[in-house]
């Protein structure tokens, strides 16, 4: 018996990185998984990997920031697997490091649409099903950038701070329903989104310095975030609610800062 045996789970951003690692781990632990990503080939590859391991999975190519697509994903899970017990709203974009004076409202709007409004819409549409059954776990990917400065660009950091507030406020909105809402705040993890950072460090011969600002002196791996998601999805976390849990090697335990010249 796996830790998610009998549960039906949706994982967004499942085409790579943290989402892929989580979808695979959830399936290995017994969940029936709906893997979602806007890149069809990538999410189909994730589904194929799960099937090779003997897991139950269906893949959906969808934009996590589109309300019709979000609702359709939930309906698909219910149709395929008879319900939904776990949602991991993980999909997100960084937007990169763009000087403030070069940022536009449209630039901000797109990052907020996917990173913050997307999780809101997932919570909005899945919560009635979970409330009806009296239980459910909703997990969102926030970031250490949502906790303190200097870990991400302006709109990215603001969006992730919004995710933290979103899980706190919705956890309380679901008072007495049995539905739990939590966030994971990853530190520096090597994923498709952070690839430019790692590629740049390798090109400069400074890859050994990546992650040096946290006490473990290294970057994290997608599987390390996936294991936290597994905990929050499982009944082991039955009394964990409304929390934003940092998985960052200890980065957020202090205030490391590297001086920068004003641009």
Domain holding 83: CATH number? Answer: 3.40.50.720
How confident is the model at residue 73, as a pLDDT?
A: 98
How confident is the model at residue 263, as a pLDDT?
A: 46
Indicate whether 82 belongs to any domain: yes
Indicate whether 30 belongs to any domain: yes
| pTM tops 0.85, yes or no | yes
Indicate whether 73 belongs to any domain: yes
Do 183 and 138 touch, CB atoms closer than 8 A?
Answer: no
Q: Are strands 32-37 and 56-61 parallel, antiparallel or unpaired?
A: parallel
How confident is the model at residue 254, as a pLDDT?
A: 85
What DSSP line would sit under 108-134, residue for residue? HHHHHIIIIIHHHHHHHHHHHHHHHHT
Dist. CA 204–CA 213, nearest whole Å: 18
How confident is the model at residue 206, as a pLDDT?
A: 59
When divided into structural domains, the chain yields a total of 1
Mean pLDDT (10-residue bins), the chain, 263 residues? 94 97 98 98 98 98 98 98 98 88 95 98 98 98 93 92 98 98 92 63 63 81 97 98 96 74 50
**Candidates 107, 156, 175, 239; catalytic one:** 156
Indicate whether 176 belongs to any domain: yes
Indicate whether 57 belongs to any domain: yes
How confident is the model at residue 208, as a pLDDT?
A: 65
Is 156 annotated as catalytic? yes
How confident is the model at residue 150, as a pLDDT?
A: 83
CB-count exposure of residue 37 (10 Å: 0-12, 13-18, 19+): buried
Indicate whether 143 belongs to any domain: yes
Indicate whether 260 belongs to any domain: no
Domain that holds residue 187: 8-191+221-249
Indicate whether 62 belongs to any domain: yes
């Amino acid at each position: 018996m796996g830790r998610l045996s009998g549960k039906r789970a949706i994982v967004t951003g499942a085409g790579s990185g943290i989402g892929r690692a989580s979808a695979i781990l959830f399936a290995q632990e017994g969940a029936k998984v709906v893997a979602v990503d806007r890149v069809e080939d990538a999410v189909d590859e994730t589904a194929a990997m799960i099937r090779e391991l003997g897991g139950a999975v269906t893949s959906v190519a969808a934009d996590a920031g589109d309300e019709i697509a979000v609702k359709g994903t939930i309906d698909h899970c219910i149709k395929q697997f008879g319900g939904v017990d776990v949602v991991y709203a993980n999909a997100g974009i960084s937007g990169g490091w763009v000087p403030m004076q070069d940022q536009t409202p449209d630039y901000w709007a797109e990052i907020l649409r996917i990173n913050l409004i997307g999780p809101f819409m997932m919570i909005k549409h899945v919560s009635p099903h979970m409330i009806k059954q009296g239980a459910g776990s909703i997990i969102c990917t926030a970031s250490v950038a949502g906790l303190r400065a200097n870990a991400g660009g302006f709109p990215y950091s603001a969006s992730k701070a919004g995710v933290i507030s979103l899980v706190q406020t919705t956890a309380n909105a679901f008072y007495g329903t049995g539905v739990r809402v939590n966030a994971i705040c990853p530190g520096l993890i090597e994923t498709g989104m952070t690839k430019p950072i790692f590629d740049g460090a390798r090109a400069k011969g400074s890859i050994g310095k990546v992650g040096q600002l946290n006490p473990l002196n290294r970057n994290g791996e997608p599987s390390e975030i996936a294991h936290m998601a597994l905990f929050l999805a499982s009944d082991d976390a039955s009394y964990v609610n409304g929390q934003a849990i940092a998985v960052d090697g200890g980065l957020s335990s202090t205030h490391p800062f590297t001086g920068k010249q004003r641009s």
